Amino acid sequence: MGGKYGKEDYSFVCGYMAARDKYLLTRERADRMIESRTAEDAMRVLSEMDYTDEGESVPAGEFESLLSRESEKTYAQILPFVPDRSYFEFFLYPSDYHNVKTLLKAEALGTDPDEFLMETGTIPPGSLGDMVRGRDYDGMRAEMAAGIKEALEEYGVTRDPQAIDMILDKACYRDMSLLASGTGSDFIKGYIALRIDLINICSFARVREMEKGAGFFKKVFIEGGSVPAAFFEGVFEAPREQAADSISSYGLRCVPADGLKAALAPGRVTALEKLCDNALTAYMSEAKYVVYGIEPLIARIAAKENEIKTVRIIMAGKLAGIPTEQIRQRIRKTYA
C-alpha cells in the first residue's frame, strides 16, 4: 500500500480507538436489544455503549438523534488525530451528496431543506447551500460540480426528482473512486470497488423484480466496480440461479455464491441488502489483524456505520411492534 506516513504515525489514535472496542455493538448486545420487552429497554443497551451522556435520557421515539450524534462523534474521535484526512474522507462524501440532493429537490419543490441536511460531510451544510443556490461551483470538487450541472439539466427536461438522485449517486461514487485512487491504498480501492459492485447487484435485483428492463438498469448502474455493466446486461434475462452463478464467477470477495442465489429470489431484496452489508463487514474484518495504520481506523468507521444501521433496524422494529424473530432475521453481522 502507498502512503505519505508510516504506520507508526497512527499509533496513538489506533490505540485510543482500540481501547473503545468495549463500547461496540456485539452479537450479545444486539440480542439483548432484540429481546428487550420494550423499545425503552432496548435504549438502555445503547447507554452501555456510550451513545448517551451520563444521566441523559432520550425517548425511544427519538433514537435517530442519537444515531446522528454517534456518527458525528466517531469522526470527531478519529479525523482530528490522523496525519492525512484524505485516507478517510471518502466516508464523508455520501453526506455531501445527500445534502446536494436535498438542496436541489427542496429548490425544485419549494420546501425547506434544513432539517434534512447532514453535518458529517466535508463541506458544512450552510456553505454548501450557498454554493448550490448560487450555482457557485468554484469551491466544489469537480465531480460534484459536474453532477449538479447534469442533474439540473436532466431535471429541467424530465421534471423527475428521481433523476437528481440517480445522477448524483453516480457522481458520488466517481468522486469516491478518484479519492481512493489518489491514496494509493489497495485496501481503500478494494473497499470502494466492492461497495460499488454490491450496489450494482442490489440495483440488478430491484430492476429485474420491477420488470423495468436492462435499459433502465444501465441508467442506474454505477461505474468503478469490478463487474462491468455489459456483464449484468448479458445475464439480465437469465434464470436466477444462472445469473447468481455468473455474477459469483467474477470472484467477488466475501460474497457467498449460495447466499447470492437465495437473495436474488423475488421478494428478497431485504435479504440481499443484508448479504451485501455482511460482505462489507467481512472485508473490513481483515483489518483486525493490523495493529497500526489506516486500515484499522477505516474498518472502525465502517463498523460504526454498520452498527448504526443495525441499531436503526432493531429500534424501528421494536417501535413498530415487529416480532422478535423477524427483527433478528434482518440484522447484520457485527464487527465486534
Short-list 254, 255, 257, 256, CA closest to 243 = 257
| Per-residue pLDDT at 187 exceeds 50 | yes
| Per-residue pLDDT at 50 exceeds 50 | yes
User: Cα separation of 122 and 75, whole Å?
Assistant: 11
User: Cα separation of 61 and 315, whole Å?
Assistant: 9
Buried residues in 73-95 as b, exposed as e (16+ CB within 10 A): ebbebbbeebeeeebbbbbbbbb
Tally of CB atoms within 10 A around 10 = 26
pLDDT band at 290 (very low <50, low <70, confident <90, very high): confident
**pLDDT at site 254:** 66
Mean pLDDT confidence for 296-310: 94
**pLDDT at site 1:** 38
**pLDDT at site 223:** 93
**pLDDT at site 2:** 43
| Per-residue pLDDT at 5 exceeds 80 | no
User: Cα separation of 312 and 276, whole Å?
Assistant: 17
In this predicted model, what pLDDT tens digit does every residue of 100-141 receive, in sequence order?
999 999 999 999 999 999 999 999 999 999 999 999 999 899
Mean pLDDT confidence for 78-90: 93
Contact 42, 36 (CB under 8 A): yes
**pLDDT at site 4:** 55
In this predicted model, what pLDDT tens digit does every residue of 140-150 receive, in sequence order?
999 999 999 99
Contact 51, 42 (CB under 8 A): no
**pLDDT at site 53:** 87
User: Cα separation of 173 and 176, whole Å?
Assistant: 5
Q: What is the mean pLDDT of the chain?
A: 90
**pLDDT at site 8:** 85
Mean pLDDT confidence for 233-245: 87
- Write phi, then psi, for 320 (nearest 5 degrees): -85, -5
How large a percentage of the chain has pLDDT more than 70? 97
User: Cα separation of 329 and 206, whole Å?
Assistant: 20
Mean pLDDT confidence for 20-27: 93
**Candidate from 64-68, 218-222, 271-275, 314-318 with smallest mean pLDDT:** 271-275
Tally of CB atoms within 10 A around 112 = 7
Residue-range domains of the chain with CATH: 185-288 (1.20.1690)
Mean pLDDT confidence for 24-44: 95
Grouping H, G, I as helix, E, B as strand and the rest as coil, residue 58 is coil
pTM of the model: 0.89
**pLDDT at site 274:** 87
C-alpha cell read off for 147? 453532477
**pLDDT at site 148:** 97
